[in-house]
Amino acid sequence: MNTDHFGFAYGTADIMCPVPSGCEAPSRITVTSAAGSSDGTEAPQATFSEPQVDREFLEVKNQNVKSDAFPYNFTICLSTMFDFTNVLQFVQSLEMMQLLGVDRVVVYKTSCSPETQRILDYYTHKGLVEVIPWSLSRYLNVSRSFVPSLGPGDLHYFGQIAALNDCLYRYMYRSRYVALQDMDELILPQSVSSWSELLPQLEQKYGVDRCYMFENNVFPNTIKRPPPNPPTLLASWLNVSGVDILSHLYQEPIIPETHYSNFKIIVNPRAVFTATVHGVLHSQHGCSWVDRNMVRMYHTRGPRQPHLKPEQLIYDGRLLDYSARLIPAVSAVLKENGLLEEDSTH
């Protein structure tokens, strides 16, 4: 069982199923519990003594090792989407991801608003998004939080760790790099404009096939302060459900208690065995903290330090460097999906 389960009754486990010598490599596999093992204990076994009713066989993937010629260069694994209504920030994030060079985004979805579903369908048809139906809540009392005290349940945050590891292995030989992050987070380079330019710099400075960890910077979505040179924003965005990330350009100061918390990563998935919410549990070459002056994570969310006054926040206008391309791209998507009036120009 993986070490990270945050105090919940259930967690993610790796079940190893050795193939007997002389047997062909299996194409599909299932897991079943035996009534008892030779030593009298119960354990998962490859047995077919139970009725075959309701047993699902899963395809065995990743049997052909690849080191190049991947269908995708950068894949982002987003988990887990439940009761999601933050349409505007979601569209802004997906468009920002494309500006950064991301060509695949994987969403593990339990539930969302009709408007969000419309956006998911749009980007799925476009080829950017893959939606994985995530139905653990049908079988377990999943928590809506990361610790039992804040959200009672049997399993951490709708099975987030299981989803992240599924995505890691699902895209292990389909994507050169994989980022594990949330929907309200953006990993932004500071001196170059895209991940394609950034990754060679990271590999040169920190080593190839490392897990690159990015400092979390919180931009509270409860406080609006005008930037020195505000972009021209569409007033019609105000009618779209969700947060406008371009309206929240002031971050909380980094303090020791939060400096190394809630970070996210970009990895070569073929160098990682087990991932967790923040970082990896098992990998070939370990992890490196990345200099915040090189790249950092922008997390537009509720405040982590709610006692701060607006004047104590620190302005960071890096997002505005993308605004000339981001604003028309977001507006075009919203209009195409019927979330903006066709003649909305201001």
Helical segments of the chain, H only: 87-100, 114-126, 160-170, 195-206, 323-336
Does 35 reside within a domain?
Answer: no
Q: How far apart are CA 276 and CA 14, in angstroms?
A: 13
Q: Is residue 2 part of a domain?
A: no
Show Cβ contacts of residue 306 under 8 Å, excluding neighbours closer than 6 positions.
none
CA distance 230 to 41: 66
Res 223: pLDDT:
86
Using CA atoms, how far apart are residues 95 and 93, in angstroms rounded to an integer?
5
**pLDDT tens digits, the chain, 346 residues: what are they?**
777 766 777 888 888 888 889 898 889 988 887 654 555 455 554 444 445 556 788 899 888 888 889 999 999 999 899 999 999 999 999 999 999 999 999 999 999 999 999 999 999 999 999 999 998 878 888 877 777 777 777 776 677 888 999 999 999 999 999 999 999 999 999 999 999 999 999 999 999 999 999 999 999 999 887 766 655 667 889 899 999 999 999 999 998 887 778 899 999 999 999 998 888 988 999 999 999 999 999 999 999 999 999 999 999 999 999 999 999 999 999 999 999 876 554 4
- For residue 42, tell me if it sits in a domain: no
Please tell me the predicted confidence (pLDDT) of residue 35: 52
Q: Is residue 57 part of a domain?
A: no
Count Cβ atoms below 10 Å from residue 71 Cβ, excluding itself: 13
**Total count of domains within the chain:** 1
In a domain, 38, yes or no: no
Q: State pTM to two decimals.
A: 0.89
Q: Two tokens at 235?
A: 């007033």
d(CA 48, CA 46): 7
Q: What is the pLDDT of residue 87?
A: 98
CATH number of domain containing 223: 3.90.550
Domain of 258?
Answer: 72-336
Q: Can you tell me whether residue 199 is helix, strand or coil? A: helix
Q: Is the distance from CB of 88 to CB of 241 less than 8 angstroms?
A: yes
Q: Is residue 161 part of a domain?
A: yes
Domain membership flag for residue 257: yes
DSSP structure string for 232-270: ---GGGGGSSS--GGG--EEPPP-TTTTTSS-EEEE-GG
Q: What is the C-alpha to C-alpha distance for residues 233 and 334, in angstroms, rounded to an integer?
A: 14
Q: Are 259 and 215 in contact (CB under 8 A)?
A: yes
In this prediction, residue 172 carries a pLDDT of: 97
CB 133 within 8 A of CB 122: no
Residue 320 lies in a domain: yes
What is the distance of C-alpha 301 from the center of its chain? Answer: 15
